[in-house]
A and B are shown apart, each in its own frame.
Chain A
């Protein structure tokens, strides 16, 4: 079934098809529509979810964690400062090994306050122990949300999952997307039947202990092992999803990478723009390619290194500032992943698109021009720089 839906409606629709037990709902631009659409499904009796209209994102995540611990499947949606307000609880969710699903509609973090897309919100939560799956477009936003539960709820994983899409660009733009039948979705997701939960009659459970030094490290090790196991599970779920949808997913997407000498690595909706640039350059005979990261946590380091091994120069494009003075978070991960290659490509970092700053095909071409120059001259120039900003002289 094909339908024109915005990214937000696509995710809300996936939620309706899943019919979760509990939803924590609190508005924040640009994710607000998700709880709005869902409220209508509740009002129309299309779902029988317990819809909890909390007084903050902090309480929203608290409700989700406690509900999931009690034995319920819980979901929520948020953006930007809302995710930041949840940060403490994101770690609690992951350490309690509770597979909550959260739709993060990416928006710049304050300050200054800005409502448009960049990845500073979810990148700030990258080390919280959540699996992070990023979408390029509405179809992927829908598909990723449906794949989230079979990944997070797998016994060897049991981790919360954040599905991310770019605010406005993906969340509000309407695209024609393919929807699965609700029966197919429910069959794919299955029932949530955890072994232990608070409301289990036979065996009371205590969750969230004061964990002392003789145990804490072992618990963190188990969490780290679960994140490693998630990588395998993500691919299993992608294969199963391909069987019911015909759509192929992996840890990242390789676009025209077979013989690529110059490559970009980036995340999210900008991949569409970058693909157009790659196509244009290919017409001119430039061996350009793109890697669009889908799974940022667990980070597919070995796989990425293999995919980039044959390239000569790579630009990693971060849609968030890390303020490390040494490049953005995607750059740090990618550079680290490439370290073990015998022959490494030249590597630069370009920060772009902050607070909704547009990136165009021409901008991407400029990045490829730079990669070309580097391969010709062997001079790498500034490793870490920004694109798309007005020059100092332009700023009045």
Chain B
């Protein structure tokens, strides 16, 4: 492939996630999955592995699959192990001359299936070193079951298990930093990205992850209009705000070398990201200014640390 990214050329490739699936309008997941799969070289085959999730129930409802590639879903908590199994089969059958051509292995799971219930399976697969890509489409809560908190849900966010009431102000804990945990696995490639603008960042990182030998991990922010409570037409804007406020920094760690992918020209205040989302509306009530301050302070700390890591 040409090393210069060209959106027009990319979108002219045959789609690998076809239309007609049942994901919500304004959902990030479909855009993320289509974007990652677009990075495959056209002649290469893939096996897509999926954890139980919104994505799974929306894209493979019997008897219709939205994928042009082979696809497998087994359960919620084992997508990485399932991908290990497909890759193991490929190695065994290759050795015995029973499979032809190049096949790539790409796993998609939500944050529930990745940060929480599928965490052990993911860690095991990464440590074993399977040649696979694991993509977390992170929408920051259990959306498929109706918006319950996960360890990826940010501080103060309202979910159905962290509701707002006289004694409750949303989630009490900060978001787990899964990307850094994956960096600590010392795998060849870890990146944080988002479906942004012309999708160059998502595309470039997906390509690297797919075509770097060994286990690679992508954490992709994937806004959810139902769970985050924003107007569905705002998907691109919300994503952009997450990046420009440094709530979701874009970076990659390649063979242990940290690199920042994007520094906002003007780092926007966190409340610009929080304000359009219903899940944070209580933070803007009078007397809750401390919540906005706490959120800002946390983002600033994380951003400073990332600048140090990347030497930016």
Interface of A is mostly: mixed
Flag whether B100 is at the interface (Cβ < 8 A).
yes
Q: Specify which of B49, B56, B83, B98 is in contact with A71 (CB 8 Å cutoff).
A: B98
In the complex, which residues of chain A have a beta carbon less than 8 angstroms from the beta carbon of B91?
Answer: 50
Stretch from A140-148, A208-216, A224-232 contacting the other chain = A208-216
Cβ contact within 8 Å between A89 and B74: yes
Flag whether A49 is at the interface (Cβ < 8 A).
yes
Contact with B along A140-174 (1 / 0, CB 8 A): 00000000000000000000000000000000000
The docked-state distance in angstroms from the alpha carbon of A65 to that of B72 is 10
Q: Specify which of A92, A198, A210 is in contact with B60 (CB 8 Å cutoff).
A: A210
Contact with A along B169-191 (1 / 0, CB 8 A): 00000000000000000000000
Count A-side interface residues using an 8 Å CB cutoff. Answer: 43
Known interface pairs A22-B89, A48-B96, A199-B89. Does A89 touch B78 (Cβ–Cβ under 8 Å)?
yes
Which residue of the partner chain B has the closest CB to A52? B88
Flag whether A32 is at the interface (Cβ < 8 A).
no
The docked-state distance in angstroms from the alpha carbon of A162 to that of B130 is 27
Which residue of the partner chain B has the closest CB to A191? B98
Cβ contact within 8 Å between B92 and A54: no
List A residues 39-59 near B (Cβ within 8 Å). Answer: 48-50, 52-56, 58-59
List A residues 187-216 near B (Cβ within 8 Å). Answer: 198-201, 204-212, 215
In the complex, which residues of chain A have a beta carbon less than 8 angstroms from the beta carbon of B57?
Answer: 210
The docked-state distance in angstroms from the alpha carbon of A24 to that of B88 is 10
Which residue of the partner chain A has the closest CB to B65? A206
Cβ contact within 8 Å between B92 and A21: yes
Residue of A63, A65, A71 ringed by the most chain B CB atoms within 10 A: A63
A63 to chain B, nearest CB (A): 4
Which residue of the partner chain A has the closest CB to B45? A201
Known interface pairs A56-B124, A63-B81, A67-B88. Does A206 touch B93 (Cβ–Cβ under 8 Å)?
no
The docked-state distance in angstroms from the alpha carbon of A160 to that of B110 is 29
Flag whether B85 is at the interface (Cβ < 8 A).
yes
Cβ contact within 8 Å between A55 and B120: yes
Cβ contact within 8 Å between B121 and A59: yes
B133 to chain A, nearest CB (A): 15
Closest 5 CB pairs of A and B: A66-B85, A55-B124, A70-B89, A72-B89, A59-B81
Enumerate chain A interface residues (CB-CB to B < 8 A). 21-22, 24, 48-50, 52-56, 58-59, 62-72, 74, 88-89, 92, 96, 198-201, 204-212, 215
A/B interface sample: 30 pairs, CB < 8 A? A22-B89, A48-B95, A54-B84, A56-B124, A58-B77, A58-B78, A59-B120, A59-B124, A59-B125, A63-B82, A63-B84, A65-B74, A66-B72, A66-B83, A68-B85, A70-B72, A70-B86, A72-B88, A88-B75, A198-B70, A199-B89, A199-B99, A201-B101, A206-B67, A207-B70, A207-B71, A207-B73, A208-B73, A210-B60, A212-B61
